[in-house]
Structure 1
Amino acid sequence: MKKKLLFVIDSLPCAGAEKSLITLLSQLDYEQYEVDLQLFAYGWTLDELVPKEVNFLPPLSYTNYSKQSLKQMILNCRNLTQFKMIVARLRYSLFIRKGHLTNAQMARLYWQSIGSVIEKNEKVYDVAISYAQGIPTFYVADKTRAAKKYAWVNVSYTLGEEDRLFQEKYYQAYERIVAVSESAEEIFLESFPMFKDRMTIIYDINDYQMIKRMSELEPEFKLDVPHLKLLTIGRLDHQKGYDIALEAARLLKERGILFTWYVLGKGGLYDEIKQTIQKYGLEKEFILLGITANPYPMIKQCDIYVQTSKFEGYGLAIAEARMLNKPVVTTKFDAVFNQMVHEKNGLVTTMDGVGVADGIERLLKEPDLYHAIVDYLNQEKKGNVEEIAYFYQLIEKGTGRS
């Protein structure tokens, strides 16, 4: 009899954890596993890449109901359940008006406001997996029935005391907590040392052959300028450090360097980033492309891949750029040395615009270094599909990496 697995993640935009999940799902043996997938938002870029064997669960009732404006919700209210949803939405709206909030704070406030109106999944699973921290973690802990529950930690971040205490009670529900890198595990344990014996590491799975094939397809966006082509992939949010990227772009322009810096991503900072682009006069240099299900032809076209993250659990886009032999300039976030070798496969810089600009300029003005990095990248091991063995070990024996 097939084992029943449930995966839960917020949604499937073109981002690191989401691409990691798609790759994992593409590697599974569906003769052994029956797989359900629960999302909190549908219709994103990667939905179409989910293997056909995976069963998309229908949207949650609140997800559907909250697509309406608040006015429509009130006018269409027909029962007590819908009234409770309206109250929950109002409560959450009031909470998030308090000012700048971290992702952890947003997730906590969402669940404190709305969790009570989210229905339970009554199906009984062998394993239920929260594939992202925050709302999926709370949902799997609170709203699912499974013999075993596993939580993925794919971002390195520190928590304030209120969020730490809030999250601790949910992680108590999990038999295993899976970090995607050593540094992600280390930082998680700074907040939750009591879970040390439950931790294991399973790296994000990268399928080189799939990435190579996709990189050879017709690109949705052509990076066809005659000068230096830079590329960054990542949500438009605080974590990805676009303030650093924009400052670096401003400095490069001041130094007289001809470049176009392309960005693949979507998110809440779009308007703020556009305003800064105009403020710095970078309308021709810093180009927001939006999102695409296949970023690999753009990686293949660029000269340098740039990552300005402030924190990451691993940095999947860096791994993908390396597989396509593109030199990387990246900030020194916590997990960076899980894959970067400074001056070998790229440059690791200080976490500021000056450092990033200096790294980019150095690769431009030192062609011997640039080509030495490309040669090194050509020799690096490509992909790690063998990592699926540790996932099977986790599912079948509950042990993960020993």
Structure 2
Amino acid sequence: MSGSFTRVSEKSIFSEPERPCMKNKLLIIQYSLAGGGAEKVLCDILNRIDYDRFDVTLLLFQKYGVYLPAVPEKVRIKVFDPAEMTFGWKLLFNRWTAKLVPSGLWTRLKLHKALGLCGKYDCIVSFMEGWSVAVHSNLRSRARRNVTWVHIDMLANHYSSGFFKNEAAETEAYDRMDEIVFVSEQAREAFFKLFAREYPARVIYNLIEKDDIIRKSSESCPVEKRRKYVLCNVGRLAPQKRQDRLIRVVARLWHDYGLDVEAWIVGEGELEADLRRLAKDLKVDDRVVFCGFQTNPYPLIKNADIFVLTSDAEGLPVVVSEALCLGKPIVATRITGPTELLAEDAGLLTSMDEKEIALKIKALLDDCALRSHYEAMARRRSEIFCPDKSIEQIYAVISGENS
């Protein structure tokens, strides 16, 4: 059987020769580079890696995403896109996915051939849950060391289960890893509770480019402020993020408390039409601005009065980290991630009750001194972000130091 992935412009993934070098060979597996927090962090890591030390291959399942242009030229990109397969390879892929990533030797050999992954790697990293770690578990023999990242509270949002035949299959995939990296202590604790076992693991906070965030926040703001107060939310428009909760809070602040407030919702996703309809039904469609995806959301965060996160589940939300860097008062639901980031009085935590969220926001809007307090506390808390330290921690986990 033969076939090709016609969209790959770099080199054929079937015939690429190995580069003779003494660098550490690193393969990173990621579904795509769509506009999510984990994808943003991955691109920041790729732009921090020392390419005198590492030879990096990025395996994408679909070569698309707003962060794709940010990938450095020194990164070799391979693409495994079912949409671009020839008929024969598509039959194999469909048979493979129908079994939800079996672990048989023959299947692994076929997968290796399809991906053009000849040769060995010093380390393979699957950077997210679900697809990435499922495929990684079938490629583990190609590396001396295998590491996977977990970016979510799996007890609160076990979305990755849909990529495996059953819980035992997902457990088996993680059993094959040498180490698991969690983006927060609470994400680690939730994972161990869910799987009722412990794995070799460490916590590495997301790499946050604080200086870059502050610099970019000084660019012109793409949205003009129309109301006295602005609330800002950044994230994909998906069920987990619960922007519907924010829209209801805006309605309560305006209709019940008479606060002249508007919300800037930055992001795109499958729920946009539903959210627009909700804003209209609640008679606040003139107070909810859908800003779409923004390559540079920082001027929007900077020009808002309060950053609001209303999610049901997170791991360590990048947007909250970025709001801390910009010294924004933050109101966030009390979930994994914000609870850890907003420690030491760095922001206001709330239940998921819309009335409580509205009252926390109202308290900040009514008290300028209180807002100033939380601005100062946010800046102080942002000192935990040190990209030089973060990249050294990543080097350590790749090499297996201190494991």
What TM-score do you get using the length of structure 1 for normalisation? Answer: 0.83
**Ranges in structure 1 where 5+ consecutive residues have no aligned partner:** 66-77, 92-108
Shift of 1:163: 4.7
| 2:243 partner amino acid | Y
Tell me the CA shift for residue 155 of structure 1.
Answer: 0.5
Q: What is the aligned partner in structure 1 of residue 117 from structure 2?
A: 122
What is the aligned partner in structure 1 of residue 7 from structure 2? none
**Residue of 149, 154, 162 corresponding to 1:152:** 149
1:18 alignment partner AA? E
Is 2:258 the counterpart of 1:250?
A: no
**Per-residue deviation, 1:133:** 0.5
Q: Paired residue for 1:339?
A: 341
1:37 to 51, 58, 67: 58
* Runs of at least 5 residues in structure 2 that lack an aligned partner in the other structure: 1-21
Matched residue SS, 2:206: coil
1:10 to 8, 17, 31: 31
CA contact (8 A) 1:22 1:50 kept: yes
1:206 is matched with which residue?
A: 208
Using the TM superposition, give the Cα deviation of residue 310 of structure 1 relative to its aligned residue in structure 2, in angstroms.
1.0
Are the counterparts in 1 of residues 44 and 207 from structure 2 also a CA contact under 8 Å?
yes
In structure 2, the residue matched to 1:399 is 402
Asked whether the equivalents of residues 236 and 269 of structure 2 are also in contact (C-alpha less than 8 Å), the reply is yes
- Give the deviation of 1:246 after TM superposition: 2.3
The equivalent of 1:315 in structure 2 is: 317
**1:177 maps to what in 2?**
180
Whether the aligned pair in 1 keeps the contact of 2:127 and 2:149 (CA below 8 Å) is: yes
- The alignment of Structure 1 onto Structure 2 pairs a total of residues equal to 364
Please report how far the alpha carbon of residue 398 of structure 1 lies from its aligned counterpart in structure 2 after TM superposition. 4.4
Bigger mean CA deviation after superposition, 269-278 or 183-192: 269-278
**Which residue identity is paired with 1:134?**
G
1:282-361 alignment, distance < 5 Å: 282-341=284-343, 344-361=345-362
Q: How does 1:42-81 map to 2 (within 5 A)?
A: 42-57=63-78, 59-65=79-85, 79-81=87-89
Q: Deviation at 1:348?
A: 0.7
Shift, 1:16, TM fit: 1.5
1:88 to partner: Cα distance: 7.9
CA deviation vs aligned residue, 1:147-178 (integer Å, no higher than 9, x gap): 21101011012247975323101112210011
- For the 8 Å contact 2:227–2:262, the answer to whether it is kept is no
Equivalent residue number for residue 195 of structure 2 = 192
Deviation at 1:309, TM superposition (A): 1.1
From 129, 133, 148, the equivalent of 2:129 is 133
| Corresponding position: 1:377 with 2:352 | no
Q: Distance in 1 between matches of 2:310 and 2:188?
A: 21
Indicate conservation of the 8 Å contact 1:120/1:143, yes or no. Answer: no
Match of residue 228 from structure 2: 227
Q: Is this contact kept in 2: 1:45–1:292, CA < 8 A?
A: no
| CA spacing shift, 1:85–1:176, aligned 2, 3 Å | closer
Distance 1:281 1:184 in 2: 38
Question: Given the alignment of the two structures, is residue 367 of structure 1 paired with residue 368 of structure 2, yes or no?
Answer: yes
1:271 aligned partner: 273
Cα separation, 2, equivalents of 1:125 and 1:201: 23
Return the offset for 1:85. 5.3
Paired letter, 1:190: K
Contact 2:27–2:56 under 8 Å retained in 1: yes
* Aligned 8 A contact 1:228 1:260 in 2: yes
Amino acid at match of 1:167: E
Q: Partners of 1:199 and 1:82 in 2: how far apart?
A: 36
User: C-alpha distance in 2, partners of 1:181/1:81?
Assistant: 39
Aligned-pair RMSD on alpha carbons?
2.5
CA 1:278–1:41 in 2, change beyond 3 Å: closer, same or farther?
farther
Residue identity matched to 2:359: D
Deviation at 1:64, TM superposition (A): 2.4
Contact 1:223 1:229 in 2 (8 A): no
Contact 1:363/1:369, CA 8 A, preserved across alignment: yes
Q: Give the SS at the match of 1:35.
A: strand
SS of structure 1 residue aligned to 2:67: helix
Is 1:21 matched up with 2:21? Answer: no
- The normalised TM-score by structure 2 is 0.83
Please give the alpha-carbon distance, in whole angstroms, between the structure 2 residues aligned to 1:248 and 1:110. Answer: 41
